[in-house]
């Protein structure tokens, strides 16, 4: 019925909002960590970005499983699949960062802040597929 379709749509919108809230909080913490590594400890911006990404991916899997998609059944399989989703995001963001820095001459401290704007929507759908699909197959 129409009411059921609206409810399903509403649930997906709420999931997307939660995903973005968690993602924003995770992003802010990750950027502080990135900027600390890059600006304070003078670590190469790509090494700092990679280190920050690995920590952020792990936090994202846990937080999105628990709060966004309401899946308390953590598993190595879902974690590894989530990691692959974020490897995709990492590669996409890294390409964007390199383009912003090398082609548009954007500051190396700013480029990683802009890159995720382009990857949020595909990553949401991939994470939803990984976490929800694994749940539905049981």
What would the pLDDT profile of 71-94 be if each residue is shown by its tens digit?
Answer: 878 888 888 998 899 889 889 999
Q: Quick one: pLDDT band at residue 34, thresholds 50, 70, 90? A: very high
Mean pLDDT over each residue of the chain, to the nearest integer? 88
Confidence grade of residue 134 (pLDDT, cut at 50, 70, 90):
low
Q: Which pTM was predicted? A: 0.69
Alpha carbons 27 and 136: distance in angstroms, whole number = 29
What Cα–Cα distance (Å) separates residue 81 from each residue in 9, 14, 49, 69, 86? 25, 23, 21, 15, 9
Is 138 a residue whose pLDDT tops 50?
A: no
Query: What is the extent of the structural domain holding 31?
Result: 2-136
Domain count, the chain: 1
């Amino acid at each position: 019925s129409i009411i059921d379709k609206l409810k399903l749509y509403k649930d997906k919108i709420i999931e997307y909002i939660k995903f973005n809230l968690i993602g924003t909080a995770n992003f802010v913490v990750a950027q502080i960590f990135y900027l600390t590594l890059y600006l304070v400890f003078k670590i190469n911006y790509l090494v700092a970005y990679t280190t920050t990404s690995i920590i952020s991916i792990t936090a994202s899997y846990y937080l999105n499983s628990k709060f966004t998609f309401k899946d308390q059944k953590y598993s190595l399989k879902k974690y590894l699949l989530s990691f692959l989703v974020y490897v995709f995001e990492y590669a996409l963001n890294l390409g964007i960062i390199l383009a912003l820095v090398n082609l548009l001459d954007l500051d190396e401290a700013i480029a990683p802040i802009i890159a995720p704007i382009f990857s949020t929507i595909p990553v949401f759908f991939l994470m939803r597929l990984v976490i929800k699909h694994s749940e539905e197959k049981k």
